Structure 1
Amino acid sequence: MVVLEKKGHICDTIVSLYHEGKRVDPVYRKMKVEPLGVLSFDTETREEFLERMKKVVEEYQLDIRFWNEAQKVQVLDDGFLVQTGGGLEIKAPICVVAIGVFGKPVKPSYPIPKEVKDKVFFALPKEPLKGKEVLVVGGGDTAAETACFLANDNKVDLSYRREKFFRINPTNMCALEKCCDEGKVKLLMGTDIEGLEEKDGRVLVHFKDGQDRVYDAVFYCLGGMTPRTFLEGIGVEFDGNKPKVDYYGETNIPRLFLVGDLALLKGSIMAAFNTGKKTIEGILEKYGDLVK
């Protein structure tokens, strides 16, 4: 078995989108998800999660080819030919796609001017911001966590198009309310953005209600989207916005499986792990002779 990884490390969603010390929850909000495999865990920090997953890789001696993003998957009569950005060509009888959705963040409908692109973020930058005026856009857990994290060293506004939050879990809601009570975060509820432009080296934000505000940086926390173009290029069929898969995650293309958020559309880490367990069961049951 070979694992193709587009980055130089495992768990890129956690590495890229979770700030230092951030809590990693196995389930989303109050979902009830019973673990099916060996990857069960309780809530832990980002660092604890990454260390544990590193040990899993070492224990099972996984063959991971880093810096090899799958760019093309060709369906053959006897399997698949996968071509990577790192120059590899791998032929295999079975292909499992586990690329998630957060590699492609949802972007706003309006264009981001090139003059301010270096001040607009979809994840926390490697170099922390300090002493800046920052706008965070979004209404979910990531938006709340990002706002609270940035508020430690910056002045933060949080813009959400609805009048009240309904997707933030209780822990993050309490943290956000505390930041607001302490004057670290200002909520801009019921606000929608019309567009951005550059002004004196900063970002001028035009809101649809007519007000304009200027910031040093803008963070969009709008979630992720299924890499539909990539999947449809392979031949995967969709039912609305969701790829068609069976209980085991097998698509309309025999021996091509989707796992994780690709199969769930929306779920949690533990639910995503569970899809991997189901897929392995399906592979062994239907195609065991090809992998033994």
Structure 2
Amino acid sequence: MSETLIENIVIYGVVVLVFGLTMWFYLRKLRNQNRMITEKIVQAKSEGLYEPVSLHPVVDPKSCIQSGACIVACPEKDILGIVNGRATTINASRCIGHGACFHACPTQAITLYIGTEKRGVDLPHVDENFETNVPGLFIAGEIGGMGLIRNAVEQGRQAVENLAKGLDRKVAADYDLVIIGAGPAGISASLAAKKLGLSTLTLEQDFLGGTVFSFPRSKIVMTSPMDLPLHGKVRLFETSKQELLDLWQQVIEKHEIRIRENVKVESISRLNGHFEISVLSDEIYTSRRVLLAIGRRGTPRKLNVPGEESPKVAYRLLDPERIREQQILVVGGGDSAIEAALLLADQNEVVLSYRGAAFNRLKPANKQRIDQAKQEGKVTILYQSNVVRIEPQSVSILLDGEEKQREIENDLVYIFAGGELPTQFLEKAGIKITRKFGESVLKHKK
């Protein structure tokens, strides 16, 4: 056998060996990744985090090429993972619907869905142009099912651009457009309307910022850039509530946007080709178009227990740093309740009451922080508990499995039980409410 042949055999043998080792390590890595993701899914199911609660991604296995772009794009972590060559959801109930995975997927394999086959979500009827079943009446933002500030801002702009098409100024009315709500969607819509030259009035039942205004002053409310009409790209990261409100105020003042605060709309009626908007002060405005941007949490959900009307009960926490040496009860198990309890725990005695057996919809960072606070004795957590009565100096709480109520000394009560969809208000305006069971709300156009 010639030396050349031997050398070739050795070279080919080495190449085959290297290739084989590479494939072995690669396959082992894939097996380990599959095992880790599978274990996370099992854990998510055991903790009640696997089933989506609201808006969530659904992956088309035929289109997925396991690039991992969706996983990298998601800032919430462990919402998506790759198992057996395709992306899949893990902790789906933690998804907050920002849609970063949807936009990042290179093969358009992801669609955003609302609700599931078993769990429905009530939503107003809105078409692809953000118009309801009532001609001329549009909806944008959280009330339509899309979460996050950036999404609400984008929808506010798009809704105004759509409603401006075919606007008949021959119809007698005070305004081209009345916008109800001055949260992210309403502010964006107001700016977009100004850009398009529409005569516009914006009404807000509370203060500029809507739901954002009700957050604690230092709360981080935005972690990704957004496009604000007339202003351009907002390249702020880790933006606090106060920073965002200050920016909105500056932009609104610069462009002379008219926003009336502390004005609650009672009804919307369509008459003779225009709308009449009645407010609590008995004023009536007329408009050719109406945009609802009121959010889903505009009306806090109450516990409906004796004593809840007490002045010591609140549904939002604005300045936690000013509250000191108080005995406080926080009610709720979502991120807002957890963040409030943590903010108050530094200078007060805090008890957290939650009706569930475990927290199952928290951001990972909040879950870690509340577990640590419990271990360190900063927060007392009462799982499977319900507030029965609120007294001037105490609260009565009933725990599952206990016949006798616990009476706890108390100075302040903060309730974070979510918000109620203003169904009666919407239906009175003629808007149809339907329950969505796993229907797509954002998909790529083929």
Residue 393 of structure 2 is aligned to residue 201 of structure 1: yes
CA deviation after TM superposition for structure 1 residue 234, in Å: 0.9
Using the alignment, how far apart are the partners of 2:374 and 2:399 within structure 1? Answer: 21
Give 1:230's match in structure 2, choosing from 425, 432, 437.
Answer: 425
Distance 1:141 1:219, change over 3 A: same
- Assess, with a 3 A threshold, how the Cα gap between structure 1 residues 125 and 65 changes in structure 2: closer, same or farther: closer
Which deviations, in whole Å up to 9, do the C-alpha atoms of 1:3-61 show, x marking residues without a partner?
Answer: 11223x30132222x1221111358xxxxxx9576475533111111111112212332
Q: Deviations over 1:161-190 (max 9, x none)?
A: 22222211122223323322332112222x
Equivalent position amino acid for 1:202 in 2: S
Shift of 1:80: 0.2
For 2:360, give the aligned amino acid. Answer: F
Cα distance in 2 for residues equivalent to 1:212 and 1:20:
33
Paired residues for 1:1-292 under 5 Å: 1-7=200-206, 9-16=207-214, 18-25=215-222, 38=229, 41-108=236-303, 110-113=304-307, 117-124=310-317, 128-189=322-383, 191-193=384-386, 195-198=388-391, 201-210=393-402, 211-216=405-410, 217-240=412-435
- Number of corresponding residues: 232
**Counterpart amino acid of residue 221 in structure 2:** V
Q: Counterpart amino acid of 1:235?
A: G
CA–CA separation in structure 1 for the residues paired with 2:363 and 2:280? 38
2:299 is paired with a residue whose SS is coil
The gaps in structure 1 that reach 5 residues or longer are 28-33, 248-292
Tell me whether 88-97 or 125-134 shows the greater mean CA deviation: 125-134
How far did residue 83 of structure 1 move? 1.6
Question: Cα–Cα, structure 1 residues 215 and 25, in superposed 2: closer, same or farther, change >3 Å?
Answer: farther
Distance 2:305 2:381 in 1: 24
Q: Which runs of 5+ in 2 are unaligned?
A: 1-199
CA distance in 2, matches of 1:59, 1:107: 39
Alpha-carbon distance between aligned partners in 1 of 2:427 and 2:223, rounded to the nearest angstrom: 30
**Equivalent-residue separation in structure 2 for 1:194 and 1:181 (angstroms):** 24
1:111-139 CA distances to partner (integer Å, 9 max, x unpaired)? 2336x722322222668432222221211
Instruction: Give, in whole Å, the separation in 2 of the partners of 1:218 and 1:165.
Output: 20
Secondary structure in structure 2 of the residue aligned to 1:92: strand
Report the Cα distance in structure 1 between the residues aligned to 2:228 and 2:208, rounded to whole angstroms.
19
Structure 1-normalised TM-score? 0.70
SS for the counterpart of 2:329 is: strand
Q: 2: CA distance between counterparts of 1:65 and 1:73?
A: 17
Report deviation, 1:207: 3.1
C-alpha separation between the residues in 1 aligned to 2:245 and 2:387?
Answer: 38
Q: Contact 1:68–1:87 at 8 Å: present in 2 too? A: no
- Higher relative contact order, structure no. (Cα contacts within 8 Å, ≥ 6 residues apart): 1
Shift in Å at residue 230 of structure 1? 0.8
Aligned residue number for residue 70 of structure 2:
none
